[in-house]
Structures are given as structure tokens and as C-alpha cells.
Amino acid sequence: MIKTYDVVIIGAGGAGLRAAVEIPKEYSCAVISKVYPPRSHTGTAQGGVCAALSNMEEDSWENHAFDTVKGSDYLGDQDSIEVMCKDAIRAIIELEHMGMPFSRNENGQIAQRFFGGHTKPADKNDPFGKRVPVKRSCYSADRTGHVMLQTLFENSIKNQVTFYSEFFVTELLMENGVCKGVVAFDIANSEVHIFQAKAVMFATGGYGRVFRITSNAHVGTGDGMALVYNAGLPLEDMEFFQFHPTGLWKLGILVSEAARGEGGILKNKDGERFMSRYAPSVMDLAPRDMVSRAIISEIREGRGIRGSDGTDYVLLDLTHLGKEVIDDKLPEITGFARTYLGVEPTTEPIPIQPTAHYAMGGIPTNVNCEVLMNEKGDIVKGLYAAGECACVSVHGANRLGTNSLLDLVVFGRRGGKAISDYLKNASFTEVRNDADERTKEIIAGLLNSNGTEKAVNIRTELQNTMMEDCGVFRTEEGLKKMILKLEELKERYRNISIQDKSKVFNTELVEAIELDNLLKNAEATVYGAYNRTESRGAHTREDFPKRNDQEWMKHTFAFEKKGSAPEIKYKPVVVTRYQPMERKY
């Protein structure tokens, strides 16, 4: 069955919906999503979306750009970063006009608060000297992503977008550098559909479910990245995966950086505010990679707290903020602490540990969201990507908090505009009637298999070993072990079977296909980490503890090679106004 649309967007989170809003009504636009759009992972983003509005204090887009470059450990492409930070102010005002309900300051303007790594010069005449935290994060209490997603969904409906909810995309149709469409199946009945399109955008989010402790929803399996990788296109900078420092102990559920932005303090078992050792000028508002390493270091040195399950944690203390601030500005995250850990944040500190949170790498694109087919910058005609699944490299080796929601709306809009321009002269490319055969074979193979392996066992081993050997700290020995484990798990995957043989809402079938995607993303991540013999941002090699700008100011491009290790190539980082310097806070 072939369905035809001018543009098909895969993913109904912030980036996909912002692109859909931008498509003119004269073009047909379909959005395909594994879940209903309001349940997309953007809705879990809590703390804010940043822009130099200067509503609370003087600020500038240049300050924002410098912080983003420095936060990226100088791996972010500075031309892309400048585009994002310049456009941030317009993007936030536009969201307000769309109906997004921001929190307000006493003057009725959009309220802003502190967030890790966001600063301004202490002395205007010395922009690269001492810097102090600045209120740059625009927010809606601690439910910013939720209200953003609802606002964009409402505007997509207004724009007459067609939604295919609970459809799972399984194949990218591409030939001779031209994208033709995608193949997907309806989770409700396992019926396979071909979606023919002049333009396709991937906005499928991250792959945090490759790790045991993660803030990502269960849908965060990196499907879009895996489909692109499987089609012979590269994935960029996959070795850089951010661990958010404050996830609820044992569970990984996010405790927003907004908690520290409002004045929350990290403490070890001795009650010591330990960030004074690691980032004395900004303390608990240091960038996420630094705070995550600090927490793990405290635990390693015996200053963590041993939990009932044998794992260790530290404490996030909000008690001094007072009940009014906690209830007004941090209602969701404190509610999670009460519900899941039985902790009362107004009187008790919250047990936290680092949680796998965000993929800085992904599908390589240019600033117009056009997907690159190689490290030379050649594009795939008619194929676009935006959001966490994409890598335009505004985040480099480490993303600053609140830059993710900004990335979604800035590049979602730019992608929508680029698609609209492309459609003016684009035509449909022929799609074979049997283009869905491979997907049908995959589904039939899983339904009819009598293999001895279960997806849940392979997935659990993958998540545990990735956490151990490719987590916050990495070594050559651990990464070698991870490479061997991946080969074992891929071989075992060929022998999996599923117990549910039905075709109606077969979630076991979906999870089995998702596992294949997780294995592909893990492969690109581990090989990129093994090859990069330096420490930079979220990639910390204990055997190579220093950043090496002479050899490693370059992006990793990983190409899948069936039956062997991926091919790794490199592309230089774009440097404009900010020369690399030591990254300290």
C-alpha cells in the first residue's frame, strides 16, 4: 500500500512539529510517530529554553554563543552555533506568539533563570576573562518541554498536518543520493505501508535506552539514526553522549538543572558542597559533563552514600529554598522525588546519580537540516534531519542545558523552510510496489522464529555493559571489552524469537526491532570512543586524560560495514571567532 505526500516527517516531538508548522498548506504533510504526539519525549524536558532576551539582566547573543562553544569543549561548529544563538531571541518570541505559556517576571515579561554553563563577562571590557552566571533560561515552571510540545501540536493541527500515530518506520527508501520515502508498519495491526514523498525529515530523538540508567523514555531507541546508518549514510560524533548529573537514584528519572538554577546544592555524605573542588567560580552551575564526572569522582573516593541496592549516590539539597519556591518553580521534579523515592524535598535532600540523557552526535546535517552523505559535505537530495537525532554540531562534545529545546525550534523551523523551498521545484521519484518486502520479511522472520534468544536478555546485557564500559569514564580496555560484547550480542540477535505471535499491538515485535536499532547506535558510539584517544567534553578517556587539539579538533563520521567494524572518517571542526582555550569554570 503506497501513501503519497509532498513531505513526510518522522517524529512528533519539538523538531518534527516545528518543521510541520512551517510547511505551507498548499503542500501535503504527514507526521509519522511511534507514539501519540503529546507523548513525544520533548514533553519531558523540564528546565527551560535559552535566549539572550535580557529580561532579567543585560545579556547578548555573543555571550550565549561563547558559552555554547566553550561548553562544547570547542568541538561545536561555530558557524552553526552563531546561527542558533542569533536566532534564539526571535524563536522564543515566536513561541510566545504561538501561545506558549511562559512563566513571567514581575514586569510581565518572559521570566529567565540561571542554568549551568550560561555566563556573561564580569567585566564588559574583558569578554574572555572572569565570567559570572547569567539568567538566560526562559521557562514554564519545570514543565517547559511539555507546554512547548502542546503548543506546537495545536499549531500543527491548525496547519492541517496529517498524523500517523503508533506507526513504526523501518526503512529509508533512497537511491543514487535521492530520498524517495520511507516504509512503516501500523503497530495496531502490523500492516506495512510505503510512504512516497518528495522530501523526508527525521526528527526521531535520541537513543538513551542503550544505557541502563537513563532519563530517556522507552521510545528513545535511536530509530532514525539506525535507519540512516543502515542505508549507508554516516553518523557523526556518536562517542559524545551526555550524562545528566542529577537523575533520581536507581531510576534515572530527570531532576532538572532548574533545581540548581534556583539555588539547589550538591552535597556528599559528609554534607560538603563538593563542587567547590571542581568548578570554584560557578560551583553547582558548571556544565553537565563536569558535574557528572565530579559526582562519580566523589563516589569513587568514598564520599558517596551507599543505597539499599548496593549502588552509590550523592544528595541534591533544596531544603533551604523554602516551600513556596519549590512548589511554584519546581513542582514536577519534587513531585517525582515524593512519588518514586518517598523523599520530601522541602525537608530532605534528594538522592541523585548521573543518568544517560542526550546524544550530542547523530545524523550529520548542514545548517539547513539537509542530511550529509559523507564527510565532504555532499547532501542527500530530499532528506533532512533536526533535533536530537541530528548533528549540525551546535553541541559539540557537551551540550549546555536549555540548548536542546532551542535546537529543536531553531533548526526545526529552518528545516521546514528548507523543505518548503525544495518542494517548489521537486517531483516524486518512482517507488517500486515491492519496496516494502524487506520490512515484511523482518516482521515475518520475527513472528515465525523459533530461536532461543530473547530480546529482553540481549537488551539488558547491552545496557549494563554500555553503562560500565562506555559511560561517564572510559578506557581502552573497557572499550575493547565492549566491542567484543557487541559482536557477541549481534550474533545472538540473529537467533531471537518472540513469544507474542499476534499482529495486533505486538509491542514485543516493536521492542525486537528497536533492539536492532540500539545495537547499531551502540556500535557507532563504541568505535568512535575507542578511536578518539583524548578526553573532550562528555567523552572522558582515563588513559588519555588531556584534550588534544593538535590531533582531535575533528568530527567523527562512522559508516556501517556489514560483517565488519564500521569505517571511520573525519571532518574538521569549523572555527570562526573563538579560538580553543583551556576549559575551566
Active site residues: 288
- From residue 13, alpha-carbon distances to 43, 145, 206, 481, 546 in Å are 8, 10, 11, 35, 37
SS3 letters for 286-322?
CCHHHHHHHHHHHHHCCCCEECCCCCEEEEEECHHHC
Q: Quick one: DSSP state of residue 539? A: B
Whole-number Å distance between alpha carbons of 16 and 412:
6
Q: What SS3 state is found at 27?
A: coil
Whole-number Å distance between alpha carbons of 539 and 471:
9
Q: Which alpha helices (DSSP H) does 535-577 contain, by range?
A: 549-552
Taking alpha carbons only, the member of 356, 414, 366 closest to residue 390 is 366
Could you tell me the three cell numbers for 304? 558517596
Whole-number Å distance between alpha carbons of 323 and 527:
47
Q: What SS3 state is found at 184?
A: strand
Whole-number Å distance between alpha carbons of 233 and 242:
23
- From residue 395, alpha-carbon distances to 183, 399, 467, 515, 573 in Å are 31, 5, 22, 26, 12
Q: Which residues pair with 201 in a beta bridge?
A: 9, 384
Q: 166's torsion region: left (phi>0), alpha (psi -120 to 50) or beta?
A: left
Whole-number Å distance between alpha carbons of 475 and 485:
15
Which amino acid type is present at position 48? G
Whole-number Å distance between alpha carbons of 64 and 57:
13
Taking alpha carbons only, the member of 252, 184, 200 closest to residue 439 is 184
Nearby residues of 163 by Cβ (< 8 Å), 6 or more positions away? 12, 30, 31, 33, 37, 156
Taking alpha carbons only, the member of 142, 351, 355 closest to residue 242 is 355
Nearby residues of 107 by Cβ (< 8 Å), 6 or more positions away? 55
Instruction: Note whether 267 and 325 are within 8 A (CB).
Output: no
